[in-house]
Amino acid sequence: MTYRAPVREMLFCMQDLAGLDQVATLPSFEDAGIETAQAVLEESAKLNEQVIAPLNVEGDRQPSYWKDGNVFTTAGFKDAFRQFGEGGWQGLQHPADFGGQGLPKTIGAACIEMLNSANLSFALCPLLTDGAIEALLTAGSAQQQSLYLPNMISGKWTGTMNLTEPQAGSDLALVRTRAEPQPDGTYKIFGTKIFITYGEHDMAENIVHLVLARVVGAPEGVKGISLFVVPKFLINPDGSLGARNDVHCVSIEHKLGIKASPTAVLQFGDHGGAIGTLVGQENRGLEYMFIMMNAARYAVGIQGIGVAERSYQLAVEYARERIQSRPVDGSQPGSAPIIHHPDVKRMLMTMRAYTEGCRAMAIVAGAAYDSAHHHPDSEVRKKNQAFYEFMVPLVKGYSTEMSIEVTSLGVQVHGGMGFIEETGAAQYYRDARILTIYEGTTAIQANDLVGRKTVRDGGQTAKAIAKQIEATEAVLAKRETAASRAMLKRLSAAREAFVQVVDFVVDNTKASPNAVFAGSVPYLMLAGNLMAGWQMARALLVAEEHLAHGTGDTAFLNAKIATARFYADHLLSKAPATRDAIVEGGESVTGLALESF
C-alpha cells in the first residue's frame, strides 16, 4: 500500500481552524501564508511518499544492527536522510540565522506528521535533532550555537538526548553520570546512558549528544543536574572534525517496534573521559532539558497522529478490496467488500475521527506556539503560551493513546490477515506502542496536567479554554442542522464534565492527592477528548458555512461534517462517564490492600 499525504485535510486545519492567515501577519512569518503552506506540503508529500515511505517495511524486516561498536542503519536510510537534509527539511522550523527556513510550527507540524506516517523509525532521528537544536537555541552559548547549529540544521550532524540511566528512568534525581571540571573550561564526562535514540548510526558525519550529568560536588537530587554537549567527534578550531571523543555505543536494544531506529546504550569515559562543554549554568540542566522534552513531547504526539493516519489508509484500502459475507441490509445480492458492513464502518470511522480530531488539536496548538513566540503584544504572547503549555500534555498523551486504539482497530479490520506481518497492519500497531511511553509516559503527562497546568493557576487556564468552547457552543445553537444539534449536545456535556473535573482537581489535590492522581490519566483523556472534539465542532461549523455559500469541495465538506458528527456521538459522548470515574472513583482505585494484589 502506498502512503498518500492528506494535504487537503492539513491545509483545512491550518487555514480554517488554526488561522494561518493570522499567523502569516506575525513578524518573520509574512511569507508563510496559504500559498507557501501548500507548496511546502506538496514538496514534503513527494519526498515522504516516494523516498521515505517505501523504506518503512524494509526497516522493520531488516533493522539497524550493531557490530564492533558501530551501528549500521537499514539499506536506503542513509541516502534518504541525505535527501531529507539537502531538501532543507531538518531546518524547516529553525532560524534562518543558522541556515534554517524559519517557517511557523503551524506548517511544520504537518510536515512532521507526513514524515512519521511515512516511516516512524526514520523520523525519530530528525525528531531528536530538533529537540537538541531547541535546547542549544535557548540555552547554548554563542560559541556553541555557531559551532553546532548550522551543521545540525543542515542535516550534516544529528542530535540526541541523554537522560535515562539503568537506575534513573522517570526519576532523574537518581542520575549518577558525573562531570569533572577541567582547567581549560571543559568537563570530562563518565557514566552510562540507556535508551538513546539514534545514539550511534551511519547517516551523519557527527552526532551531538546532549547529556545530563552531575558536576562533582553538586547538590543531590534534580537541583544538582547540569547539561553538557558531548560530540561523537571533537571539533577543530577551523570547524573540521577532529579526534573521536570517548563516547561509545556498547549495544543496541531489540524492540517490539520501531526496529529500524537504533536505541543505543552509550558509555561515556571508559578511556579517560568524554570531553564536554557546559550548556548554560551548572545545576540548571533539568530546566534546559525540559526545553528539549517539551519540543519532543509535542512531536511524539504528532507521531501518534502520523502512524494512525497510515494505519487508517491501509485499513480503508483493505476494506474496499476484501470480499466477505452479504451485507445485513441486503443491499448486495451476494458477498461484498467488507466496507459495506456496519461494524467495519464503525471501526473505520473511529480511526478517521480520532486522527482528524487530534490533527486539528495539534495544528491549532502549533499556531498558539507561533503567536506565543512571535506576536508583538506581550499579553497575547502570554495567553497563547498558557494555551500551548496546557495543550502539550494533551497532544502527547491523548494523540498517542488514541494511536494504539487506532492501529489496533487497523489490525481488527484486516481480521486474521492483520495478524500476519505481510499486510503491514501489525507493524503500525507495534510501532505505536512505544509512543505512550517515551518522552514521558501518559501518567507523567497527566501529572504535568494536574500539577503544573491545572493546580498551579487554580484552574484558570483550563476554565478560560472552557469559555472559548462555550462560545463555539453558542454558534452551534444558532444552527438548525442535525449534525450541529448533535454536536452541541455532546460538546456541552463534555465541557461541563471537564469543568467539574477541573474543580475536583483544584479542590482536592492537596488534601486528597491519591484520589486526584488515581484519576489523572482519565482527566488527561477527558481533556484531550474535549479539545479534539472542540476542533471537530469548529470544523463542522466551517464546513456547513462553506456548503451554505457554495464554496469548497462538496464531497470533502460533507465528509468533514459526517466525521465530526461521528466524533460527537461516539467519542465525545464518553466524557460524562469519564468524569464520574474521576470524581467518584478514586476510592476504588486505592481500596485494595497492597498484599492482596
Catalytic residues: 439
d(CA 359, CA 408): 19
Give the distance, in angstroms, between the CA of residue 395 and the centroid of all CA atoms in the same chain.
7
CA distances from 467 to 18, 459, 461, 482, 492 (A): 18, 12, 10, 24, 11
- Taking alpha carbons only, the member of 296, 304, 411 closest to residue 358 is 304
Q: How many separate helices (H) and strands (E) can be counted in the chain? A: 20, 12
- Cell readout for 36 is 507557501
Q: Give CA separation, 510 vs 141, 165, 505, 506, in Å.
A: 40, 31, 9, 8
- Give the burial class of 322: count Cβ atoms within 10 A of its Cβ; 0-12 exposed, 13-18 middle, 19 or more buried: middle
Give 112's contacts (C-beta < 8 A, 6+ positions apart): 123, 127, 299, 302, 306
Q: Which of 509, 502, 492 is nearest to 523 (CA)?
A: 502
User: Backbone dihedral region of 88: left (phi > 0), alpha (psi from -120 to 50 degrees) or beta?
Assistant: left
Q: Looking at residue 219, what DSSP letter applies?
A: P
Those residues whose C-beta lies under 8 Å from the C-beta of residue 186, and which sit 6 or more positions away, are 275, 276, 277
Report how far apart, in Å, the C-alpha atoms of 63 and of each of 144, 204, 252, 259, 393 are: 33, 18, 11, 5, 31
d(CA 282, CA 215): 8
Extended strands (E) in 31-107:
65-67, 70-72
The per-residue DSSP string of 127-196 comes to: HHHHHHHHHHHHH--HHHHHHHHHHHHTTSEEEEEE--BTTBSS-GGG---EEEE-TTS-EEEEEEEEEE
Q: Which residue has the cell 537499514?
A: 74
8 A C-beta contact, residue 279 and residue 210? yes
CA 74 to chain centre: 24
Other Cβ atoms closer than 10 A to 202:
13
Bridge partner list, 227 = 212
One-letter amino acid at 479 equals R
Phi, psi of 249 (to 5 degrees): -85, 120
